[in-house]
Amino acid sequence: MANRAAPAAPSYAAVFVDFENVYYFLKNHFHDPPDLNDYVLALVRKLRDDLAARGLDCLVLNAYADFERLATAPQGGLYLMGVNTRNVLGTHHKNAADMQLCIDAMEVLYTRPDIGTFVLVAGDRDYIPLLQHLRRQARQVLVAGFREATSGDLLQNLGPQHFLDARELLPPATLAFLEARRRARPAPEATAPTPTPVAPAAGSPDAPEAEATPAFDPVRPLTGPDEQSCLAFMVAELLRLSQHRPVNELWLTPFLRRLTDEFPALPEYERRDLINALRTAGALRIEKREGEQHPFSVIVLNPEHPDVRALAAPAAA
Tell me the domain boundaries of the chain: 12-182, 186-316
CA-based nearest residue to 156, from 140, 165, 143, 169: 143
Please give the Cα distance from 255 to 241 (Å, whole number): 12
What is the distance between the terminal CA atoms of the chain, rounded to a whole angstrom?
A: 90
Please give the Cα distance from 256 to 77 (Å, whole number): 36
Q: For residue range 62-117, what is the model confidence (pLDDT) as tens digits?
A: 999 888 877 777 888 898 889 999 988 764 445 577 889 999 999 999 999 999 99
Q: Which residues pair with 141 in a beta bridge?
A: 118
CATH of 12-182, one of 3.40.50.1010, 3.40.50.720, 3.90.330.10, 3.40.50.10490: 3.40.50.1010
Please give the Cα distance from 113 to 110 (Å, whole number): 7
Q: Are 192 and 288 in contact (CB under 8 A)?
A: yes
Enter the DSSP assignment of 192.
S
> What would you report as the CA-atom Rg of the chain, rounded to the nearest whole angstrom?
23
Whole-model pTM above 0.75?
Answer: no
* Residue 144 CB coordination number (10 Å): 26
- The pLDDT value recorded for residue 186 is 52
174 CB burial (10 A radius; 0-12, 13-18, 19+): middle
41-45, 206-210, 276-280: least confident range: 206-210
CATH class (in words) of the domain with range 186-316 = mainly alpha
Mean pLDDT of the chain, nearest integer: 81
Q: What is the mean pLDDT of residues 289-302?
A: 77
* Residue 3 CB coordination number (10 Å): 5
Three-point CA angle 191, 197, 200, nearest 5°: 100
